[in-house]
Amino acid sequence: MSITFHHNNIVHIKNSAISYVMEVVDGKYLVNRYFGKSLREYRLSGIPHYFKRVYNTEHDCSIENVSFDDFPFEYPVRGFGDYRIPAITVTQQNGIEFINPIFKSWKILSEKPQLDGLPSTFAGNSKVETLEILCEDKQAGLQIFLYYSIFDDKGIITRHQKIVNTGNQTLKLQNVQSLSLELPAQDYDFLSLFGTHAKEANINRFPIHYGIQKIESARGSSSPQHQPFFALMSPQTTENIGEVYGFHLVYSGNFMAQVEKDQFGNIRAQIGLNKDEFCWTLSAGQSFTTPEAILNYSCNGLNGMSQNFHWLYKNHLMPKRFSDKIRPILLNSWESMYYDVSLDKIDVQSSIAQKLGIELFVLDDGWFRKENNSYSSMGDWVCNENKLAGGIKKVAELIHSKGMQFGLWFEPEAISENSDLYRTHPDWALHIPNYKPTKGRHEYLLDLSRKDVQNFIIQTLDLYLKNNLIDYIKWDMNRPLTDVNSILIDTERKGEVSHRYVLGLYKVLDTITKKYPDVLIEGCSSGGARFDPAMLYYVPQNWTSDNTDAFDRVGIQFGYSLLYPPIAMGAHVSITPNHQTGRTTSLNTRYQVAKLFNLGYELDLTKCTDEEQNEIANQIKQHKIERNWQLNANLLRNDSPNENYAVWSLVSEDKSQFEVVIFQKFHNPLFSHGKFKLYGLNPDFDYMNVDDKSVFGGDELMQVGLTVPLIKEDFHTFSFKFVKI
């Protein structure tokens, strides 16, 4: 890994996987020259040629006939000849939206900078070097510091910007992207993850056309509609072959991700805060830091990109203390009790759970509600003792007395109209004076930009955490933001509220997780509505969907596996017919879908027959053995011969063992069998199937493949475990 300067005008950031090269033209224009597979050295190849065009702008630049219309600016602005999407837009005090920052200097930092008030990746046990570039518009009194951090040996560069107002005037930041990247004119496919509640992380892939293509969230949180991620890749790229550029934002609020293909086919890609929902007043002397963006390059297809993200998020983003910690197998009360919780039910369910080997009992929603619905009580985090005599203390003691851990559900950001909290502090809810606020799931949201509200949430959680009653929290958030206003924020700063909400959330999470580092928090937002890298910085696992149907879960987990390692996801075996889809699947299939992730159960155990309970006990026994090596194994998606199959494998770090799970979606006589080439094995190892003892070489399994017969059943799973002999 190195960052080197050549001839004072070129910087080459590289490691064994990637190179990122920029040039300073004429001492002032910072341009991108290359990002991709590692180069030994860059000697100014591939520079575009320009010719004189009519209807073009002219510039003070030594490059003959230069056109700023397709000049590869590293951090572009509009206003003097580049009409493509700008990375930064600033309005000066005179009301004019214009800045002209030019290159000033660069230097190397031997560390990974942390971002003020924002979650970001950290160096951990790896070496990291950072390039800091300063661009300046002296006239406006504006400095832009651009940061590029490179980790050892992986195709990852992290990016963010710091904007400083060094002058005397007040500046308005209208748009400030976390990264902008120029890619050469070529055909690319765009890939993103779209979805909705209960059907998150669907794959959206299409060829890029001329003009702008954009995904975004304006919902105040990262949302299930679009993950703050996209990838650009060659149209030929598959799971395992081809170039991919991945972009992911470490942020939980409004974002935008866009790509512009200009008239010559050049590509500009950006990701950052959603400019339509943002305007930040930067007074003299103040600075603003953008969220961090992750730039990921792989020449080994989508799996290569996923391996980079998984590595980064497991080792350099999620809390270190949890990245190598086996997660307890849990029983969650939601689908068995919903709001109607009682001490008796908890006692019965947890006794069976304990007998089956479950390690953590999670009491979901309902415990504090006045009635068995979602119309009241949000914000009044007091246990309803009519349901649970003795309160949470009693429940926790009961669970602990059975040798299990105890977890509790909260939705700390919400407030019901029918709550003592709302009656006392109506102003604490996000609202616009003189307008009736909009409810979502019958609730409002607290104004997390306020310090008093942040303190209220911290103190509330403190009450439950300080007595060691709780080992796990499910941190839910069940609605998007509306009425985005804080009555404490001045008129000229109203455009800051949604970002300040997110900063407030991070402040609360930071305080709680620092004070109670051993409490495991699982993020949830009606499932995966706020599953993003920023949340992962605080909460090491996330509930991916309210849809617990095994068939649908394959797709959801498949989508999320593009970005997140299995240890970041919770997956539960639920009752059948499934409550969301009515689909019936075997207990074995439900387990096969959940077992490669943080395993849990979410069903009424009293309704399981003895036979089913035995099967669950065996699953748990098996999982407790396998999870030890699975903790640090790599999750790979294998190419499938057709869409009827989805195939995962989990390969141990040293490649000495692996598990393959194949999902046959439908019985379709058009196929005689499924044949799958496996990836990520050691070609020189011989592997034995632990069930039938058959032996295959790693090369054979990767080049020829493994076959499974067509089974006359919809949604059938095959599972194989191989060990090196």
Contact call for residue 659 and ligand GLA (CB under 6 A) = no
Residue with tokens 């990637």: 18
Q: How many residues bind ligand GLA (CB under 6 A)?
A: 11
182 binds ligand GLA, rule: CB under 6 A = no
Q: How many CA atoms lie within 13 A of 395 on its CB side?
A: 31
Q: Judge whether 580 and 329 are in contact, CB under 8 Å.
A: no
- Closer CB to ligand GLA, 67 or 548, in the complex: 548
**Residue 307, CA distances (Å) to 125, 258, 289, 310 in order:** 18, 24, 28, 5
Taken in order 424, 427, 433, 435, the sign of the CA dihedral is: negative
Q: Which of 696, 690, 699 is nearest to 723 (CA)?
A: 690
Q: Give the residue with the Cβ less far from ligand GLA, 150 or 341.
A: 341
Based on DSSP, count helices (H) and strands (E) in the chain, helices before strands.
Answer: 13, 38
Which of 70, 413, 476, 549 is in the footprint of ligand GLA by CB under 6 A? 476
Q: Minimum Å distance from CB 289 to ligand GLA?
A: 31
- Cβ contacts of residue 379 below 8 Å, gap of 6+? 414, 415, 416, 419, 420, 421, 422, 446
Instruction: State in angstroms the smallest separation of the CB of 337 from ligand GLA.
Output: 11
| Residues contacting residue 536 through CB under 8 Å, at least 6 positions apart | 313, 317, 318, 523, 542, 564, 568
> Contact at 8 Å (CB) between 91 and 99?
no
Please, which residue, 34 or 543, has the CB nearer to ligand GLA?
543
Q: Which is nearer to ligand GLA, 24 or 594 (CB)?
A: 594
364 near ligand GLA, rule: CB under 6 A: yes
| Least spacing, CB of residue 365 vs ligand GLA, in Å | 3
Pick out residues in 520-549 that bind ligand GLA (CB under 6 A).
524, 526-527, 543, 546
> With CB under 6 A as the contact rule, which of the stretches 77-85, 519-527, 551-559, 661-669 interacts with ligand GLA?
519-527
Question: Smallest gap, in angstroms, from Cβ of residue 18 to ligand GLA?
Answer: 38
Nearer residue to ligand GLA within complex by CB, 411 or 471: 411
DSSP state for residue 286 in the 8-state scheme: -
- In terms of CB distance, is 282 or 571 closer to ligand GLA? 571
Distance, C-alpha 409 to centroid of its chain: 21
Strand partners, 233: 189, 244
Catalytic annotation, residues: 476, 546
Q: By rule CB under 6 A, what string of x and - marks binding of each residue 391-430 to ligand GLA?
A: ------------------x---------------------
Task: Find the shortest distance in angstroms from Cβ 429 to ligand GLA.
Answer: 19
The rounded Cα 452 to chain-centroid distance in angstroms is 29
| CB contact set of 194 (below 8 Å; sequence gap of 6+) | 202, 204, 215, 225, 226, 227
Asked if residues 202 and 195 have their Cβ atoms less than 8 Å apart, the reply is yes
Closest CB 685 distance from ligand GLA, rounded Å: 41
Q: Is 210 exposed, middle or buried (0-12, 13-18, 19+ CB in 10 A)?
A: exposed
Determine which residue in the list 136, 365, 496, 659 makes contact with ligand GLA, applying CB under 6 A.
Answer: 365
Q: Can residue 334 be called a binding residue for ligand GLA (CB under 6 A)?
A: yes
- Residue sitting closest to ligand GLA (CB): 365
Nearer to ligand GLA, 351 or 372 (CB): 372
Q: C-alpha 182: how far from its chain's center?
A: 24
Site for ligand GLA (CB under 6 A): which residue of 19, 454, 478, 664? 478
User: By C-beta, is 334 or 381 nearer to ligand GLA?
Assistant: 334
Minimum CB–partner distance for residue 439 and ligand GLA (Å): 15
Helix, strand, coil percentages, rounded to 5, for the chain: 20, 35, 45
Query: Which residues contact ligand GLA (rule: CB under 6 A)?
Result: 334, 364-365, 409, 476, 478, 524, 526-527, 543, 546
